[in-house]
Chain A
Amino acid sequence: MKNDIPKVLKIAEVRDENPTVKTYVFRGCDLGAKPGQFVNLWMPRVDEKPFSVSYCDKDEFWLTIAAVGDFTRKLRDEFSVGDKLGVRGPYGKGYTIPEGKKIALLAGGYGAAPLYFVAQEAVKKGCTVEFIVGARNKDLLLYLDRIDQAEGMNLYIATDDGSSGEQGYNTQILERLIGDVDIVMTCGPEIMMKAAMDICEKAGKPIEVSIERYMKCGSGVCGNCCVDGLGVPVCTKGPVMLGSEARKIKGLAEFHRDNVGFKVVW
């Protein structure tokens, strides 16, 4: 039966990924999350926010979190090994990982974290992974060493300022590789994912995207993450969906909605 009450866990380990991003490891919990799914992280007396899972097995799971808002800065400044946080989930639909295919992963900024989880599972299933990362500059990239050293993964880097990899957008790398891959999976800014959808449509290749909206319940109840056009809550009908489905979202890469449902331009 359904139980959606937060389970309190201690932080087992904290790893620095880059100047703004840390990975929080929780152990002794079989979360059962698939790549692309997310959890709600509860900080008692403060707030609760959704975060995608960056790794999960029977004994542990990771949340890779950038300190960019009130909640995440408090997490960075005040929480360390042994401190307690509440977790509930996993929520939503994850990526569909095929067997023995050539996959291109397109990560914008922090999107590399959940896609690294995809890459690991895909390699286990005999896939080869072209892992394309992109960010404004090198300080915002993450997981580079892990990807570079992993079996079955090839790393490609693009930065807006050319401080790492080639200068420009990561989608230009996807454009070069698209002919040689079977499927694309992407996570990052919506404008980047939309561009990737266009590249895939032109090449006749399927793509899965991860749609981020202001989420509260994670259970398809509160309606705050419902998208225009489709009318469905992406916390349960997404966040990962086929590009062909995501195309039906009105205002894709143009606007999202805030905590009371007001339109906000991306």
Chain B
Amino acid sequence: MNTSIDFCGAKFPNPTVLASGILGVIGDSLKNVAEIGAGGVTSKSVWLERHEGHKNPTMMGSEHFYINAVGLPDGGIDKAREELGKYLEWKNSQPEGKRVPLIGNIVAGTIADFENIAGQMAEIGPDIIEVNISCPNVEDEFGRPFACVTADAAEVTRIVKSVSKNIPVAIKLSPNVANIGEIAAACEKQGADAITAVNTFGPGMVIDIDTAEPILANKVGGVSGPGIKPLAVKRVWDVAQAVSIPVIGMGGVLTGRDVIEFMMAGASLVGIGAGVFYRGSEIFSDVMLEVEEWMKENGVKDLSEVIGKAVK
């Protein structure tokens, strides 16, 4: 049985990927998630400079949804160089087949800063650079996300590709648009090597009725978790049909069956984020046991066979 996935020239031992923003603050944390069994790990969104993020409460979950407005706190590219460098050093010391690829996620408020941060991230040398143009939680600072305007998404892609050297670039898109397929296609046209779909939905809000106050300090936050899974599957489906580059799909993945579902919608890799809240960081190994069980039951020898299987 083969669960490994070739993606943009990197070999992922399995399709599960730690999504950006979860457990990615230090290199040893990424290493821990890789050792647990993730097929790939993504850093938190890295800014050029230190970025504070929002006050708490920044996140919370219920049975049906997770909501967060962490606000992309980060120590900046110099800290990332140290922490991601530490991870890459460990990764490269592992035997072939056990090297869990690193996706270096970057964010910026302006096109010029994207050029700068992408060039510096390329020097660090992750397996893939993922470009966060879709965070809904920093709108007060930077206005509408680039991912919500086709021309903006395309321009960020072009500028990042111009400095990313030989490192493949994935553009992380927002689901909060009417035309995600069109935006994905525009990014592909500017040279994007992959699309990550999707970032959180919303923004949403939770109000405490005993105090009549919104609970998140930022008042609004991006919504993820089990409740948004069908919405995310549809976005991945739309993107996969609009482009010929591979897709990292995500949104409410909790089980092995969810992983298969996203792959059938067209995802080659599947991100897990809020799932860590519901099942702990062991979710990566647990989910892959479930995937392998499903493969056995259904006589699937190579997991890559299921990619896009539902897309007719």
Q: Which of B44-52, B117-125, B167-175, B238-246 sits within the interface?
A: B44-52
Shortest CB-to-CB span from B20 to chain A, Å, is 11
- B70-100: CB near A (< 8 Å → 1, else 0) gives 1001110001000100000000000000000
Residues of A within 8 A of B281 (CB): 220, 232-233
Complex alpha-carbon distance, A207 and B58, angstroms: 34
Does residue B177 face the partner (Cβ distance < 8 Å to A)? no
Residue of A5, A221, A224 ringed by the most chain B CB atoms within 10 A: A221
Q: Which of A38-46, A179-187, A197-205 sits within the interface?
A: A38-46
Does residue A194 face the partner (Cβ distance < 8 Å to B)? no
Assess whether A260 is in contact with B50, with CB atoms less than 8 Å apart.
Answer: yes
Does residue A231 face the partner (Cβ distance < 8 Å to B)? yes
- B15-32: CB near A (< 8 Å → 1, else 0) gives 000000111111011111
Does residue B141 face the partner (Cβ distance < 8 Å to A)? no
Does residue A19 face the partner (Cβ distance < 8 Å to B)? no
Q: Which of B6-14, B104-112, B208-216, B289-297 sits within the interface?
A: B208-216
Complex alpha-carbon distance, A49 and B217, angstroms: 12
Complex alpha-carbon distance, A228 and B276, angstroms: 20
A40-B57, A44-B208, A48-B56 given; A220·B50 CB < 8 A: no
Please give me the residue from chain A that is nearest to B28 by CB atom: A231
Assess whether B70 is in contact with A2, with CB atoms less than 8 Å apart.
Answer: no
A42-B215, A86-B215, A259-B73 given; A220·B62 CB < 8 A: no
A259-B73, A260-B51 given; A217·B58 CB < 8 A: yes
Assess whether B60 is in contact with A4, with CB atoms less than 8 Å apart.
Answer: yes
Shortest CB-to-CB span from B122 to chain A, Å, is 22
Residues of A within 8 A of B62 (CB): 1-5
> Within the complex, which residue of B25, B57, B61, B208 is in contact with A226, where a contact is CB–CB below 8 Å?
B25
> Within the complex, which residue of A6, A221, A260 is in contact with B276, where a contact is CB–CB below 8 Å?
A221
Complex alpha-carbon distance, A145 and B33, angstroms: 46
Assess whether B28 is in contact with A45, with CB atoms less than 8 Å apart.
Answer: no
Complex alpha-carbon distance, A233 and B33, angstroms: 11
Assess whether B57 is in contact with A48, with CB atoms less than 8 Å apart.
Answer: yes
Please give me the residue from chain A that is nearest to B87 by CB atom: A231
> Within the complex, which residue of A5, A222, A228, A260 is in contact with B74, where a contact is CB–CB below 8 Å?
A260
Shortest CB-to-CB span from A1 to chain B, Å, is 4
Does residue A257 face the partner (Cβ distance < 8 Å to B)? yes
Assess whether B50 is in contact with A230, with CB atoms less than 8 Å apart.
Answer: no
Shortest CB-to-CB span from B156 to chain A, Å, is 23
Q: Considering the complex, which residues of chain A in the window 224-248 have a beta carbon less than 8 Å from any beta carbon of chain B?
A: 224, 226-233, 236
Complex alpha-carbon distance, A167 and B25, angstroms: 41
A48-B56, A261-B75, A262-B50 given; A223·B277 CB < 8 A: no
Q: Considering the complex, which residues of chain A in the window 1-21 have a beta carbon less than 8 Å from any beta carbon of chain B?
A: 1-6, 8
Assess whether B22 is in contact with A222, with CB atoms less than 8 Å apart.
Answer: yes
Assess whether B277 is in contact with A257, with CB atoms less than 8 Å apart.
Answer: no
Shortest CB-to-CB span from A94 to chain B, Å, is 17
Does residue A138 face the partner (Cβ distance < 8 Å to B)? no
Does residue A101 face the partner (Cβ distance < 8 Å to B)? no
Complex alpha-carbon distance, A219 and B32, angstroms: 16
Could you list which residues of chain B lie within 8 angstroms of chain A, going by C-beta atoms? 21-26, 28-33, 35, 44, 50-53, 55-63, 70, 73-75, 79, 83, 206, 208, 210-211, 213, 215, 217, 274, 276-278, 280-281
A3-B63, A4-B277, A260-B75 given. 8 additional CB < 8 A pairs?
A1-B63, A4-B60, A6-B208, A216-B59, A223-B23, A226-B28, A259-B73, A260-B79
A-B complex: 4 closest residue pairs judged by Cβ atoms: A231-B32, A231-B28, A48-B56, A223-B23
Selected A-B contacts with CB under 8 Å, 9 pairs = A2-B61, A5-B60, A47-B217, A216-B56, A220-B281, A223-B26, A226-B29, A260-B75, A261-B74
